[in-house]
C-alpha cells in the first residue's frame, strides 16, 4: 500500500527523523492559510508539492496549466498561484504514465536551503532475503539511473529481518555519503531512526530522495516515499487508515473487495486464471504468441459462478480488453462446473452487455475436462474452447488479428 508524502513525513516525525515543517491542504484558501502559518513560524521560502502516489513530480508538468508538481515560492502570492495551477489539474510524471494523476491535495512546506543532496532508501532485497539500506551521493536523481550507469556510487548495508541495524552499519552509510562533523552525527541518527521506522511499520520501502544537508549542517528528509506490506497491514490498523482510495486503480480496488488477486497491465488480452503460477505462465504464453496481457488475475482455487462473474466485471472495466482468455486447471474444482459457471456468467445481462464483441477463449484442463469442452462447444455463445495452452494462445492471436 502506498501513502502520500505528507503522511510518510508524519510517520518519520514520530520516529524522530527530521523533516521540514509542512501542512497538507485540499483547497487554494487552505494552502494560503498554511503558508501564512509557516511564515509566522519563520519560513521565508515555501514549497508547494502535489500529493499524488507517484514520484518525479519536480520534473513533471500538469496537463492544463503546464505547472511543475513541486514549486518553490518566495511569497504567499506565489503559493496562491501554484495552488491555483495545481489543484484540479492532472500531473504527468515519468511514474504516472501518459494519463497522469489528478491533483487533489497539496503539501506546503517550509523551504530549506540545500548544501548537498543524497539518496537514502531501505527496501527488501529479495535475492538475499534481507533488508537493504542503499545510499548514494547522487541525490535528487532517479536511483534506477544511478544503479544502471554508475552502480559504484551506491553503497549498501544488509540487515537480517528481525535483527537490528548495527551502529557501525549506520556509521558506514553516513561516512560513505561524505558527511562530516555535526552533519555526520545527525546523519548516523537519521539512518538509525529511518531503519526503526521501516522495521516497525512492516514497510516494503522507505525512500528518501533527496536527503539533504543544510548550510547549518542540519539533515532533513526533503521527500519521502513509503509503501507498506499489504500482508502485514492487519497488524497496523492506524496505517491501514492512511489508504487514499482515490489514488488507486478502480479495478484493483474492486478486486480487493471480491478477494481476487488482480493487477492491471497495459495489454489487450484479459486473463482469468486459477493459481498465481498458472496465471504467470498464461501471461508468458500470451506474450509468446504475439499478444499482450491486459492484467494478472488469480481467481483462487474455487472458481465458481460468482468468482467468474466478478472476474469478468473487473477485466471488462478495462477498455483496452479485446479478448479474454480463461485458463482454469480443475483439480479440486471440476472443469464441467467451471464451464457451466462461465456460461452462466456470460449470460448474466450485466456481463453479456459488456462482453459483446469480446471473444472469450476457455481452456479447461483436469477433472472432467472433456465434458467441460463439450459444454463450451455446445453453447451458442461467443466462447471458444481450447485444450492445450498453446492452442488457447493461438486462438487469442487469431481473434486479435
Residue ranges that bind ligand GDP, judged by CB under 6 A? 20, 47, 49, 55-58, 70, 72, 109, 111-112, 114, 140, 209-210, 222-223
**301 is known to lie in a ligand binding site:** no
- In whole angstroms, the minimum distance from the beta carbon of 379 to Mn ion comes to 54
- In whole angstroms, the minimum distance from the beta carbon of 66 to Mn ion comes to 20
Binder of residue 22, out of ligand GDP, Mn ion, none (CB less than 5 to 8 A by kind): none
User: Which grid cell sits at 228?
Assistant: 507498506
**209 is known to lie in a ligand binding site:** yes
User: Which residue from 213, 163, 170 is spatially nearest to 193, judged by alpha carbons?
Assistant: 170
Binder of residue 359, out of Mn ion, ligand GDP, none (CB less than 5 to 8 A by kind): none
User: Which grid cell sits at 390?
Assistant: 498453446
Look up cell 505528507; give the residue: 6
158: CB partners within 8 A, 6+ apart = 125, 128, 130, 131, 132, 133
**223 is known to lie in a ligand binding site:** yes
Residue 68 or 322 with smaller CB distance to ligand GDP: 68
Note if the bond before 210 is cis, omega within 30 degrees: yes
Could you say which of 89, 223, 317, 336 contacts Mn ion (CB under 5 A)?
223
Residue 89 or 223 with smaller CB distance to Mn ion: 223
Q: What region, left, alpha or beta, does residue 18 occupy, with left being phi > 0 and alpha being psi -120 to 50 degrees?
A: beta
* Three-class SS state of 391: helix
Which residues are annotated as catalytic?
A: 119, 207
**332 is known to lie in a ligand binding site:** yes
Binder of residue 186, out of Mn ion, ligand GDP, none (CB less than 5 to 8 A by kind): none
Q: How far apart are CA 392 and CA 286, in angstroms?
A: 9
- In whole angstroms, the minimum distance from the beta carbon of 83 to ligand GDP comes to 16
Residue 8 or 272 with smaller CB distance to ligand GDP: 8
- In whole angstroms, the minimum distance from the beta carbon of 58 to ligand GDP comes to 3
Residue 83 or 343 with smaller CB distance to ligand GDP: 83
What distances in angstroms separate CA 308 from CA 6, 170, 175, one per listed residue? 39, 51, 56
Residue 57 or 313 with smaller CB distance to ligand GDP: 57
User: Which residue from 149, 271, 272, 133 is spatially nearest to 211, judged by alpha carbons?
Assistant: 133
Look up cell 491533483; give the residue: 103
Residue nearest to ligand GDP (CB): 58
Under a CB-based contact definition with an 8 Å cutoff, are residues 5 and 221 in contact? no
Q: How many helices, marked H, and strands, marked E, lie in the chain?
A: 14, 19
Q: How far apart are CA 64 and CA 58, in angstroms?
A: 16
Binder of residue 373, out of Mn ion, ligand GDP, none (CB less than 5 to 8 A by kind): none
Q: Going residue by residue from 348 to 367, which x/- string records binding to Mn ion, judged by CB under 5 A?
A: --------------------
Under a CB-based contact definition with an 8 Å cutoff, are residues 105 and 58 in contact? no
Instruction: Decide: is 209 part of the binding site for Mn ion (CB under 5 A).
Output: yes
Please state whether beta strands 323-330 and 219-221 pair in parallel, antiparallel, or not at all (unpaired).
unpaired
**187 is known to lie in a ligand binding site:** no
**217 is known to lie in a ligand binding site:** no
Under DSSP, the state recorded for 247 is G
**311 is known to lie in a ligand binding site:** no
Q: How far apart are CA 217 and CA 13, in angstroms?
A: 19
- In whole angstroms, the minimum distance from the beta carbon of 109 to ligand GDP comes to 6
Residue positions in the annotated binding site for Mg(2+)?
209, 223
Q: Which residues lie near Mn ion (CB under 5 A)?
A: 209, 223
Annotated binding-site positions: 49, 56-58, 112, 117, 209, 223, 274, 331-333
Amino acid at each position: 500500500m502506498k501513502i502520500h508524502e505528507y503522511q510518510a513525513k508524519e510517520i518519520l516525525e514520530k520516529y524522530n527523523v527530521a523533516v521540514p515543517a509542512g501542512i497538507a491542504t485540499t483547497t487554494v484558501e487552505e494552502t494560503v492559510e498554511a503558508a501564512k502559518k509557516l511564515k509566522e513560524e519563520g519560513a521565508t521560502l515555501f514549497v508547494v508539492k502535489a500529493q499524488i502516489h507517484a514520484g518525479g513530480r519536480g520534473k513533471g508538468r500538469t496537463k492544463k496549466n503546464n505547472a511543475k508538481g513541486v514549486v518553490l515560492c518566495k511569497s504567499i502570492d506565489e503559493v496562491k498561484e501554484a495552488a491555483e495551477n495545481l489543484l484540479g489539474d492532472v500531473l504527468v510524471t515519468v511514474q504516472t504514465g501518459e494519463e497522469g494523476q489528478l491533483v487533489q491535495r497539496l503539501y506546503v512546506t517550509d523551504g530549506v536551503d540545500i548544501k548537498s543532496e543524497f539518496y537514502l532508501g531501505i527496501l527488501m532485497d529479495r535475492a538475499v532475503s534481507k533488508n537493504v539500506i542503499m545510499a548514494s551521493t547522487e541525490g535528487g536523481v532517479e536511483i534506477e539511473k544511478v544503479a544502471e550507469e554508475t552502480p559504484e556510487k551506491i553503497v549498501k548495508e544488509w540487515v537480517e529481518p528481525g535483527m537490528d541495524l548495527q551502529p557501525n552499519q549506520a556509521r558506514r552509510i553516513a561516512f560513505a555519503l561524505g558527511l562530516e562533523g555535526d552533519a555526520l552525527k545527525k546523519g548516523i541518527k537519521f539512518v538509525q531512526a529511518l531503519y526503526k521506522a521501516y522495521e516497525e511499520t512492516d514497510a516494503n520501502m522507505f525512500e528518501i530522495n533527496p536527503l539533504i544537508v543544510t548550510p547549518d549542517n542540519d539533515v532533513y528528509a526533503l521527500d519521502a516515499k513509503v509503501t507498506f506490506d499489504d500482508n502485514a497491514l492487519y497488524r497496523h490498523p492506524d496505517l491501514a487508515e492512511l489508504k487514499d482510495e482515490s489514488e488507486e486503480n478502480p479495478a484493483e480496488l474492486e478486486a480487493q473487495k471480491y478477494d481476487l488477486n488482480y493487477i492491471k497491465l497495459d495489454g489487450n488480452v484479459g486473463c482469468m486464471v486459477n493459481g498465481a503460477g498458472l496465471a504467470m505462465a498464461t501471461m508468458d504464453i500470451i506474450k509468446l504468441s504475439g499478444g499482450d496481457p491486459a492484467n494478472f488475475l488469480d481467481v483462487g482455487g474455487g472458481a465458481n459462478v460468482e468468482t467468474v462473474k466478478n472476474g469478468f466485471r473487473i477485466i471488462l472495466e478495462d477498455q483496452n480488453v479485446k479478448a479474454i482468455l480463461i485458463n482454469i486447471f480443475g483439480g479440486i474444482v471440476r472443469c464441467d462446473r467451471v464451464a457451466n459457471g462461465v456460461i452462466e456468467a456470460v449470460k448474466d445481462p450485466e456481463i453479456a452487455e459488456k462482453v459483446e464483441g469480446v471473444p472469450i477463449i476457455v481452456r479447461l484442463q483436469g477433472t472432467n475436462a472433456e465434458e467441460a469442452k463439450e459444454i463450451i462447444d455446445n453453447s451458442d455463445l461467443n466462447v471458444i474452447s481450447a485444450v492445450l495452452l498453446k492452442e488457447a494462445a493461438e486462438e487469442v492471436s487469431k481473434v486479435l488479428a
